[in-house]
């Protein structure tokens, strides 16, 4: 299957299964409570074609790189994304990570984009609590709409402070790379066997268990990249899985929280 066919197939599968697709300036991703397809700039254009005529069914997210998040460049970067995606608006626009331009400047441009109807909301990515505090002090309550952060079974750092901050402020947490290192799904490993055993009790798969564990927090969305339609369907079905307290305990024991990090992990 060509990469173009794969991206279109994944976009349509994500749309059919989850009703939502997100894309970034550097990658494209689908999420609902979270199903992703990965693609580059070309991918964004292909997604634009795949969702043509179905824009209202899609929740479309894109990110601005910190190097473009200045007073002069933010709006132009967003307009380029809109053109690539062949749409007139994004449902949410994110600052990819904290950069060197003053946040006041970037957030003022986000608000301008909102007034212009080019974005319906804005959020951030890879923001620790000090940066989140700064956003809240500039923009007030209800901001940011979301914080997209690294979160998977073996990297639970956000649970120490970022997740509680987001819960207190009504900010959605979007977990990227929610499968982490695929090695944890190897049924020959101790951790793999724990996931396998919980999954078997629910007629589910270990990856569904992993996603369901992250989704136990109501503010968390997950965005696993998936280009295979079977993967999109499998991941989407994780939303229906209801882990028991005993399941959660077994997973907590196999994948302990770990100490609070000095810096928020990101990739």
Ligand X SMILES: NC(=O)c1ccc[n+]([C@@H]2O[C@H](COP(=O)([O-])OP(=O)(O)OC[C@H]3O[C@@H](n4cnc5c(N)ncnc54)[C@H](OP(=O)(O)O)[C@@H]3O)[C@@H](O)[C@H]2O)c1
Residue of 38, 43, 48, 206 that binds ligand X (CB under 6 A): 38
123 near ligand X (CB under 6 A): no
Query: In the structure encoding, which two tokens stand for residue 89, read together?
Result: 């608006």
- Going through 151-229 in order, the beta strands assigned E by DSSP cover 172-176, 220-223
Residue of 14, 15, 25, 27 that binds ligand X (CB under 6 A): 27
Task: Closer to ligand X by CB, 98 or 207: give it.
Answer: 207
Only one of the segments 77-85, 105-113, 160-168, 218-226 lies at the binding site for ligand X (rule: CB under 6 A); that segment is 218-226
Instruction: Kindly state the smallest distance separating residue 43's Cβ from ligand X, in Å.
Output: 10
Among 28, 72, 26, residue whose Cα is nearest residue 51: 28
Only one of the segments 21-29, 69-77, 105-113, 137-145 lies at the binding site for ligand X (rule: CB under 6 A); that segment is 21-29
Q: How many angstroms separate the CA atoms of 191 and 135, rounded?
A: 38
Residue of 32, 33, 36, 48 that binds ligand X (CB under 6 A): 36
Q: Which of residues 220-249 bind ligand X (CB under 6 A)?
A: 223-228, 231, 234-235
Q: How many angstroms separate the CA atoms of 130 and 263, rounded?
A: 11
Give residues with Cβ within 8 angstroms of 195, minimum separation 6. 184, 185, 206, 209, 210, 251, 254
Instruction: Kindly state the smallest distance separating residue 254's Cβ from ligand X, in Å.
Output: 19
Residue 36's DSSP bridge partners are 225
Q: Is 140 exposed, middle or buried (0-12, 13-18, 19+ CB in 10 A)?
A: exposed
Instruction: Kindly state the smallest distance separating residue 115's Cβ from ligand X, in Å.
Output: 26
Residue of 177, 191, 215, 250 that binds ligand X (CB under 6 A): 177
176 near ligand X (CB under 6 A): yes
Only one of the segments 43-51, 98-106, 172-180, 248-256 lies at the binding site for ligand X (rule: CB under 6 A); that segment is 172-180
Instruction: Kindly state the smallest distance separating residue 216's Cβ from ligand X, in Å.
Output: 19
148 near ligand X (CB under 6 A): yes
DSSP H or E stretch at residue 150: strand 146-150
Torsions phi, psi of 218, nearest 5? Answer: -60, -25
Residue number of the CB closest to ligand X reads 29
Give the chain's count of helices (H) and strands (E): 10, 8
Torsions phi, psi of 253, nearest 5? Answer: -70, -40
For ligand X, how many residues bind (rule: CB under 6 A)?
23
Can you give the binding site for ligand X, defined by CB under 6 A? 24, 27, 29, 36, 38, 125-126, 148, 176-177, 179, 207, 223-228, 231, 234-235, 266-267
């Amino acid at each position: 299957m060509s990469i173009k066919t794969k991206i279109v197939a994944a976009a349509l599968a994500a749309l059919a299964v989850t009703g939502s697709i997100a894309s970034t300036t550097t990658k494209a991703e689908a999420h609902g409570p979270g199903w992703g397809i990965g693609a580059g700039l070309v991918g964004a254009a292909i997604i634009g074609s795949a969702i043509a005529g179905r824009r209202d069914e899609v929740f479309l997210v894109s990110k601005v790189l910190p190097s473009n998040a200045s007073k002069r460049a933010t709006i132009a970067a967003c307009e380029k994304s809109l053109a690539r995606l062949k749409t007139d608006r994004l449902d949410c626009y994110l600052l990819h990570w904290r950069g060197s331009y003053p946040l006041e400047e970037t957030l003022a441009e986000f608000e301008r984009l909102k007034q212009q109807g080019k974005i319906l909301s804005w959020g951030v990515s890879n923001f620790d609590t000090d940066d989140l505090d700064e956003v809240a002090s500039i923009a007030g309550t209800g901001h940011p709409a979301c914080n997209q952060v690294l979160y998977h079974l073996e990297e639970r750092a956000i649970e120490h402070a970022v997740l509680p901050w987001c819960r207190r402020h009504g900010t959605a947490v979007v977990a990227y790379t929610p499968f982490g290192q695929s090695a944890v799904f190897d049924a020959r490993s101790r951790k793999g066997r724990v996931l396998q055993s919980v999954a078997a009790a629910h007629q589910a798969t270990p990856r569904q268990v992993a996603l369901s564990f992250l989704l136990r927090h109501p503010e968390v969305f997950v965005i696993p990249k998936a280009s295979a339609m079977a993967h999109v369907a499998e991941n989407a079905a994780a939303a229906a899985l209801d882990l028991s307290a005993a399941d959660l305990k077994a997973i907590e024991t196999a994948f302990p929280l770990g100490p609070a990090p000095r810096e928020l992990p990101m990739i």
